[in-house]
Structure 1
Amino acid sequence: MQVRDKSFSSVIRALWDRAGTLPWLSGPGIVLLVLAICLPFALVEVPPLIDVPGHMGAAAIEAAGPNSPLEKYFSWKWVFTLNIGGGVLMKVLGAQFGILAAGWWSTVLATGLFAGGGLATIRMLNPKGGHGAAWALMFVFSFPLLTGFLNYILATGLSLSAFAAAVWLEKQPRNRAILLIVAQPVAMLCHAIGGMLLALLVAANAFGREIDRLPAGWWKPANARQLAKELDWKAIALRLWILCWPLLATVITIVLWKYLSPEPVRSLNRWRWDQKAWYLVLTLRDQSLLLDGATTFLCFVLIAFGWAFGARWKWQLGMPGLLVFLLFIAIPSDINGSAFVDVRLLPVAAMLALGLQDWSQAGDKRARIVATAGMLLLAVRLVVTGASFADYADDYRKQLAALHHVEPGSRVLAFVEHSCLEESWRNTRRDHLASLSSLYRQAWVNDNWAVPGLHMVIPRFRPGRNFAADPSEFVWSPRCAGRRMRTVDYALSKAPIERVDYVWLIDTGLPSNPDPRLQLVWQEGRSLLFQVRRLSIPNWKPQDF
């Protein structure tokens, strides 16, 4: 029996070697892994990612017809900006299947593209040494996706997929150039930073390959001087030009954006160095401090000390992850009103670093241990994610029951308690749940993103200063240390209650001094819906501010 087993394993290993790739990086293997990553979404109707309800609310505003009450409250203006991928995808899908299904499918497609693009990149660059692929996949459900940065995830998935295809087409330079020239503006229109990754990865791969061609010890000063005289710089420049000239499409896209996009209102760029440091720890924050902390620690150990266990460093494989990490360090944290720009890059850098470690020469036993441990840990995390999705779906149903008591076309002033790390490692993900008022009840709500030059939603009804759009819905728990925003009591004391129909408090608890104009019509735990009594709304015009 042992002889048969040994013979069978030898046959399997021979088939793997003949195929030139590891089984989980084969076509069927990639499909199965992507399906496993997307499986938690089968448990929900509204994806429980923080920003996704906001995207769905915005899509409802865009799709509103002339007879919709939303036409009185909002207008929508498509602009040429590098942040419209999710909106376009939801419009295309929503026209056929409705906004609710469009929001679900857009999220699943973006997630699948992110995971599939990462696996395809590992397959093309590291087909026999990608034993860290499962470790890389743990960074799919990381900060950018769990926050619901749909445009960024979609653009990054497109960039990874197009990069893998470009590597595959290197022997067909014409087709490769056409692919890159088309893919770069498409990815950048989805999201500037996610789309820019395509040019970065192509350039990193090309320059890394040239460095690998240099003789051993080239970096030593004595060798470097001699090598500089002997190298055929024209041949190197020609090879780099052939691989990189299509990247001019990224430059052209940026120039067109600068000239055609409206000037953003917020042009302040800020580097938040404390944020960069914190997200080295927080990028895998999900449900369990113990599980997420242990996963982060093990992943960083594998990245930093994989060489000690037999992983080989090659510049062609290491440069993509290294340059993405350096970009994370270098770029501002806030750009033109968009926050968390830098920390979105960290999971991509980790994914590339783990997946492109070459374990092919580490020995079968060590490589199998790395692969098996990664698969088991990924399976545990997916089970936890699936269970959390079921919990979030139940919570969303309970919270959204408030909308059964809201008249269609009403004005809903919402306040949601923003969860802080001091209170709970697990995020409630209710931050933009109020946006679904526009989807389910065609109602006005103060939860929409409306930064001119960045977003397409334009509020026409503004009940009061600082109460027309995001982040006017956020309040903080008094238990949050060093809170930067107001409590629910302070927000209600300043709110234009007389100009709205309902006040929806999500997970805030009962105010200390309830306004006598507010009549409680629904309650679920710490969430409450009040109808405004004796409302006297003055005449207003769409241009009122």
Structure 2
Amino acid sequence: MQVREKTFAMSLRALWERAVALPWLSLPGITIIVVLVCLPFALVEVPPLIDVPGHMGAAAIEAARPGNPLLKYFSWKWVFTLNIGGDVLAKLIGAQFGILAAGWWSTVLATGLFAGGCLATIRVLNPKGGHGAPWALMFVFSFPLLTGFLNYILATGLSLMAFAAAVWLEDKPKQRAALLIAAQPVAMLCHAIGGLLLGLLVGANAVGRELDRLPAGWWHPSEWRRLRDEQDWRAIAKRLFILCWPLVATVVTIILWKYLSPEPARSMNRWRWDQKAWYFILTLRDQSLLLDGATTIACFALILFGWLLGARWKWQLGLPGLLVFLLFMAIPSDINGSAFVDVRLLPVACMLALGLQDWSRVPLERARMIALAGVLLLGTRLVVTAASFADYADDYRKQLSALHHVEPGSRVLAFVEHSCLSESWRNTRRDHLASLASLYRQAWVNDNWAVPGLHMVIPRFRPGRNFTADPSEFVWSPACQGGRMRSVDTALKYAPIERVDYVWLIDTGMPRRPDSRLQLVWQEGRSLLFAVRPLGFPNWRTKDL
């Protein structure tokens, strides 16, 4: 009877502690904040994130039915790979609402899960001390999302949500285990690294809690001998096992992936240490060097020196972010043909470090000032983001007007000038805009991701050895790395122009060397569309290049 009364009292206490969470960590508060974070997408039709047009072009290929010209140029093969979350979501939405709506809703849902998962995690672990929540949300619109890594963002959002739910259900072990066993394969199938975060966070939370229970100074060798006699290590091991045994689902998923997925075309892993260092500066790169630089400095200062203002360190709160950061440092930058694998983790580590700083014992006025400063900075960034989305939407409309001059089912060889940091802090986000030719004109374009074992698109039309798929569309301006990178003139020199119908140059400017095979049919600023002149075709009415 006493045990039941004690359990009931503990449950009431837990419920009370959850009930008095900070206002912005209440369910209505989280809902309102997630909606506000997603509002910039209401200004656009195509989300202006670098990879999103590529995802939409791939979805158009998957959805192609008999009679669609795309089937002459591509095929689609579903494979068991840990990188298909966005493709599955786009198929489910696109079947009812079309590819354009699928691309938009997939992006919004992934963003909402990312932001909501961040707040839910802070809610369950740091309900009274989560004054750093607005600072954590700075890293929603960070490098992974602005690049359009939808599979990763979706998997990470699911991992954060499932982790928060698992912590909430700790007094219901059967329900918690069922949740984790179901959530891990789903998150891993969305994206390997994003899904792996769920197991990492669950393990870090369990180990951190046990470390907090140990007496002060437990890490000294002299203390270990005393702890060996006083602590019941079997009880600690039992508690860790109860919390962590469902993580076997991640191991099973990886084993199944190893046996069922095709061999990767590129198995070489590569560490880029300069890239890891640069992304401490670049992870919040967006529109303004001044604003982004100031935000980065302020966030890292709060992480490193928050303790001087009174923020408390607890292993249970600090270990999740610390382990994600160590994973960022340890894993390769390129894995099996997938690039930027490591730097996607840095924003999540910062998000956890800021959101899980415990400000509950700081004087109330100081804690509120920390939160208010974060809200003002976050609000400023969201306004700038919304304004930039409107600008990108206008630019996308202008660039895509070229497709009005493209015959359906054509072959379009595209080259886009990849923006260089040395020239502009702001990214044009046109890198994969050419993929929308497959959506709007059912056209072949050389912009698709087609790494065997990683992507499902299989090119059937191959006009040239190095002009079939991404990154064959990229060219650089003469100012990039002293002119040593491939220019549009170099690309056109070796391009299989005679095997395509159009050449689409996006933000490259007019090539310096003329080519009698190309006929200018459209121009918008530095972007141009050329029809390829068939040999001996007379009476072209517009000027030649």
1:260 corresponds to = 260
Output the CA distance in 1 between the equivalents of 2:373 and 2:19.
24
1:195–1:482 distance in 2 versus 1, CA, 3 Å: farther
CA contact 1:156–1:195 (8 Å) conserved in 2: yes
1:49-84 deviation digits (Å, cap 9, x = unpaired): 000000000000000011000000000000000000
AA of the residue aligned to 1:347:
P
2:531 corresponds to = 531
Indicate the SS of the match to 1:481: helix
Q: How does 1:89-238 map to 2 (within 5 A)?
A: 89-238=89-238
Output the CA distance in 1 between the equivalents of 2:283 and 2:141.
9
Indicate the SS of the match to 2:504: strand
1:317-359 deviation digits (Å, cap 9, x = unpaired): 0000000000000000000000000000000000000000000
Indicate the SS of the match to 1:194: helix
Indicate the SS of the match to 2:481: coil
2:47 corresponds to = 47
1:368 corresponds to = 368
Indicate the SS of the match to 1:80: coil
Indicate the SS of the match to 2:202: helix
The answer to whether structure 1 residue 282 and structure 2 residue 277 are counterparts is no
Deviation at 1:88, TM superposition (A): 0.3
Deviation at 1:484, TM superposition (A): 6.3
Output the CA distance in 1 between the equivalents of 2:19 and 2:454.
47
CA RMSD of the aligned region, Å? 1.2
2:243 corresponds to = 243
Deviation at 1:220, TM superposition (A): 2.2
2:445 corresponds to = 445
**TM-score, normalising length from structure 2?**
0.95
Indicate the SS of the match to 2:385: helix
Output the CA distance in 2 between the equivalents of 1:484 and 1:30.
49
**Percentage identity across paired residues of the two chains:** 83
AA of the residue aligned to 2:306:
G
CA contact 1:46–1:393 (8 Å) conserved in 2: yes
Deviation at 1:18, TM superposition (A): 8.5
CA contact 1:126–1:317 (8 Å) conserved in 2: yes
Deviation at 1:384, TM superposition (A): 0.2
CA contact 1:54–1:433 (8 Å) conserved in 2: yes
Q: How does 1:380-529 map to 2 (within 5 A)?
A: 380-482=380-482, 485-529=485-529
AA of the residue aligned to 1:309:
L
AA of the residue aligned to 2:517:
R
Deviation at 1:224, TM superposition (A): 2.5
Moved over 6 A (4+): none
2:67 corresponds to = 67
Indicate the SS of the match to 2:516: coil
Output the CA distance in 1 between the equivalents of 2:514 and 2:506.
15
AA of the residue aligned to 2:400:
L
Indicate the SS of the match to 1:530: strand
AA of the residue aligned to 1:360:
S
AA of the residue aligned to 2:436:
L
Indicate the SS of the match to 1:91: helix
CA contact 2:18–2:127 (8 Å) conserved in 1: no
Output the CA distance in 2 between the equivalents of 1:230 and 1:332.
42
Deviation at 1:230, TM superposition (A): 2.0
AA of the residue aligned to 1:195:
G
1:348 corresponds to = 348
Output the CA distance in 1 between the equivalents of 2:362 and 2:153.
33
1:163–1:383 distance in 2 versus 1, CA, 3 Å: same
Deviation at 1:535, TM superposition (A): 5.2
AA of the residue aligned to 2:478:
P
1:535–1:342 distance in 2 versus 1, CA, 3 Å: farther
Output the CA distance in 2 between the equivalents of 1:107 and 1:228.
51
1:5 corresponds to = none
Output the CA distance in 2 between the equivalents of 1:158 and 1:526.
41
Residue ranges of structure 2 left out of the alignment (5+ in a row): 1-15, 537-545
Deviation at 1:482, TM superposition (A): 4.9
Output the CA distance in 2 between the equivalents of 1:319 and 1:55.
34
1:379 corresponds to = 379
Residue ranges of structure 1 left out of the alignment (5+ in a row): 1-15, 537-545
Deviates more, 1:176-185 or 1:228-237: 228-237
Deviates more, 1:211-220 or 1:348-357: 211-220
Output the CA distance in 2 between the equivalents of 1:528 and 1:146.
26
1:250-284 deviation digits (Å, cap 9, x = unpaired): 00000000000000010000000000000011000
1:410-441 deviation digits (Å, cap 9, x = unpaired): 00000000001000000000000000000000
CA contact 1:501–1:535 (8 Å) conserved in 2: no
Output the CA distance in 2 between the equivalents of 1:20 and 1:499.
67
Indicate the SS of the match to 1:402: helix
AA of the residue aligned to 2:421:
L
Output the CA distance in 2 between the equivalents of 1:39 and 1:465.
43
1:476-499 deviation digits (Å, cap 9, x = unpaired): 010112566410000000000000
CA contact 1:498–1:535 (8 Å) conserved in 2: no
CA contact 2:79–2:453 (8 Å) conserved in 1: yes
CA contact 2:261–2:453 (8 Å) conserved in 1: yes
CA contact 1:474–1:485 (8 Å) conserved in 2: no
1:541 corresponds to = none
1:33 corresponds to = 33
1:431–1:535 distance in 2 versus 1, CA, 3 Å: farther
1:484–1:363 distance in 2 versus 1, CA, 3 Å: farther
Output the CA distance in 2 between the equivalents of 1:36 and 1:135.
15
Output the CA distance in 1 between the equivalents of 2:193 and 2:483.
30
1:370-408 deviation digits (Å, cap 9, x = unpaired): 000000000000000000000000000000000000000
Deviation at 1:227, TM superposition (A): 1.4
CA contact 2:287–2:426 (8 Å) conserved in 1: yes
Output the CA distance in 1 between the equivalents of 2:481 and 2:465.
27
Output the CA distance in 2 between the equivalents of 1:27 and 1:197.
24
AA of the residue aligned to 2:291:
L
The answer to whether structure 1 residue 328 and structure 2 residue 318 are counterparts is no
AA of the residue aligned to 2:495:
A
Q: How many residue pairs were aligned? A: 522
Deviation at 1:20, TM superposition (A): 1.7
Deviation at 1:173, TM superposition (A): 0.3
